Amino acid sequence: MSEPLAERMRPQTLDDYVGQQHLVGQGAVLRKMIDSGRIHSFILWGPPGVGKTTLARIIAHQLKVPFYTLSAVTSGVKEVREVIDRAKNSTFFNTVSPILFIDEIHRFSKSQQDTLLGAVERGTVTLIGATTENPSFEVIRPLLSRCQLYVLKPLEKDDLMTLLNRAITQDVELKQKHIELKETGAIMRYSGGDARKLLNILELVVDAAEADDIVITDEMVEQRLQTNPLAYDKQGDMHYDIISAFIKSIRGSDPDAALYYLARMIEGGEDPKFIARRLVISASEDIGLANPNALLLANAAFDAVDKIGWPEGRIPLAEATVYLATSRKSNSAYLGIDAALQLVRRTGNLPVPLHLRNAPTKLMEQLGYHDGYKYAHDYPGNFVVQQYLPDGVKDERIWHAQHSPMEEKLYQQMLNCWGERFK
């Protein structure tokens, strides 16, 4: 039995590597490191099927160093120590350290990550981690501080078309057939920027054809995937589609749909903490100030799931899901911080008004630091009008209230304080 198409088409050199030009294009950071012959430990964060494992293999091949790989799903502390011992024995004087590639590093426990820390610090191994999860949630801080973080992007349509054309013209099996890509809308839509999923779908469609002359259309792709809906999802990547539907159902105030997608994730063996994190994010982003208790409940569900695990963990997750879905919605805080970030990026490091600066030294007092500051608690209602924003943006409005009962109270409070500024 031959290898899957996605494995047969795995690039062997950077010149064949598709996508991620912000990292591996000419003059980009990873390309410079590789060309210099020396690399530091780093973590690749991005969605499935964008080339994390492939990139690690190419780096090891180009630098001609030993390459060890572990999966966080199947490896324990014992396996980590064994690999580190083998790496020590393969290290020679004044050479690049062996590369240890850890797939799904976010699934490593704290004890497993602690085992890695010493080897990374001493340079026994150069760690390359791959994760689909935000490393700041799951990678311990000492290890994260010793690794650069590089973000990989979903592949663009042009990248995917390059892969499709390369597969049908260069693959040892597919090039023996006559394959025409008449329509590509469905295969692009179902792949979702995932190269592995794209090639899996192509292989499914080709294998289903009875002749060597194959004209691929959207209808053909859709029919094949309807008869074999999970076949293109061999690595469990569908959870990204399900979690998207889950969050959108909460945002859309549909508790039935939200519970349905929660059940899909539970039945699919999803990590309960992955679900709980999404609930915390949803509580902040979609419910926000319309019901601040939502964030408290989501955090409580996270803590409960962390303590009790499956199967009982489904209950606090369901409770939080229903509460968030049925709660009033507001994204004013989410929009507010994004507006503030855009303002900061547009205006740069504006000086803080002198009266807001601390004056711990005599020189700072003489320079006017803190001079004129009004202590709010010394005034009626614990409020006094004064300027807080820098001069260059002092008239900017960033937070805009939305019209839920809770936020209406906050808005009225701001009107009472600031008057015209908040109208």
Q: Considering the chain, what percentage of its residues have pLDDT values greater than 70?
A: 90
Query: pLDDT at residue 232 above 60?
Result: no
The CA distances from residue 394 to 148, 237, 273, in Å, are 37, 47, 42
Confidence of residue 234 (pLDDT cuts 50, 70, 90): very low
Q: What gap in Å lies between CA 169 and CA 254, rounded to an integer?
A: 47
pLDDT at position 60 is 86
- pLDDT score of 177 more than 50: yes
> Residue 385 to residues 335, 359, 389, 401, 419: CA-CA distances in angstroms?
25, 22, 12, 20, 10
How far from 374 is each of 198, 357, 380, 387, CA to CA, in Å? Answer: 62, 12, 12, 10
What letters, b where the CB count within 10 A reaches 16 and e where it falls short, cover 21-56? eebbeeeeebeebbeeeebebbbbbbbbbbbbbbbb
Res 22 pLDDT > 90: no
Q: Would you state the pLDDT for residue 321?
A: 92
Q: Is the pLDDT of residue 229 over 50?
A: no
In this prediction, residue 297 carries a pLDDT of 94
Which band of pLDDT confidence, cut at 50, 70 and 90, is reported for residue 124? confident
pLDDT of residue 301: 93
Task: Look at residue 364 in the predicted model and tell me its pLDDT.
Answer: 63
* pLDDT band for position 233 (cuts 50, 70, 90): very low
pLDDT tens, position by position, 325-381:
998 888 888 888 888 888 888 888 888 887 777 766 666 666 666 777 888 888 888
Q: Is the pLDDT of residue 47 over 50?
A: yes
pLDDT of residue 92 exceeding 70:
no
pLDDT band at 236 (very low <50, low <70, confident <90, very high): very low
pLDDT higher than threshold 90 for residue 296? yes
Answer whether residue 108 shows pLDDT above 80. Answer: no
- pLDDT attached to residue 84: 81
Indicate whether 45 pLDDT > 80.
Answer: yes
Task: Produce one character per residue of 284-314: b if its CB has 16 or more CB atoms within 10 Å, e if not.
Answer: bbbbbbbbeebbebbbebbebbeeeeeeebb
Model-level pTM?
0.56
Q: If you average pLDDT over every residue of the chain, what do you get? A: 81
Average pLDDT of the residues in 127-136: 83
Residue 300 — very low, low, confident or very high, per pLDDT cuts 50/70/90? very high
- Mean pLDDT for the stretch of residues 241-250: 86
